[in-house]
Amino acid sequence: MTEARDFWSRRKAAVLAEADEEREAIEAKAVADQQTELEAKPDHEILAEFNLPDPDQLKPGEDVSGFMKKAIPDRLRRRALRRLWRLNPVLANVDGLVDYGEDYTDAACVIENIQTAYQVGKGMLAHIEALAADETEDEALPAEDLEEAPEALDDEIEDVAEVVALAPETEEPEEMEMPPAPRRMKFEFEG
């Protein structure tokens, strides 16, 4: 019995979806036809037909929702929005706190033939590997210096011992007494 209900409920939903698609297609075709008609008309005729003010002459506080209708051509909608953005101080003045507000495409700031160690996908990996290889080469002693190495280390140890002996003795800091941490109070609510 439940299978029959499932079939008919799915069938009913499919029929409703088809009807919605047909209605949307008819509306889209009507809007497209109206758009093609309005594209051929000059702006002042379109504004008179929809009883809209000139978008370039809008004043602060005027309503621009009339320009947002689907039937209004995009060119008039853009003009009205540009005027709105120029008039409204919140939209017109960037406060500098936006992270996308900088112009990183400015050609005046670009240095010609700049060399960098950055590689796309690898980052600074090659540069860091080269630095690590240089450090390991510096740390490795040549075979002829191996005989002199213990004497050099002994000299360094003696120098460090002299510096430690000359350093004034410092007292260990006393333990500070800290007040006990406050206890958390538990509140019981009756509900």
Ranges in the chain, pLDDT < 50? 1, 191
Whether the pTM exceeds 0.85: the reply is: no
List b or e across 101-140, with b for residues whose CB sees 16 or more CB atoms inside 10 angstroms.
eeeeeeeeeeeeeeeeeeeeeeeeeeeeeeeeeeeeeeee
Q: Output the pLDDT for position 12.
A: 92
Q: Output the pLDDT for position 166.
A: 62
Q: Output the pLDDT for position 136.
A: 81
Q: Output the pLDDT for position 124.
A: 75
Q: Output the pLDDT for position 78.
A: 93
Q: Output the pLDDT for position 55.
A: 92
pLDDT digits (tens, 9 = 90+) for 65-93: 999 988 888 889 999 999 998 888 877 77
Q: Output the pLDDT for position 120.
A: 80
Q: Output the pLDDT for position 16.
A: 95
The alpha carbons of the chain give a radius of gyration, in whole angstroms, of 39
Q: Pick from 97, 49, 53, 105: which is nearest to 79 by CA?
A: 53
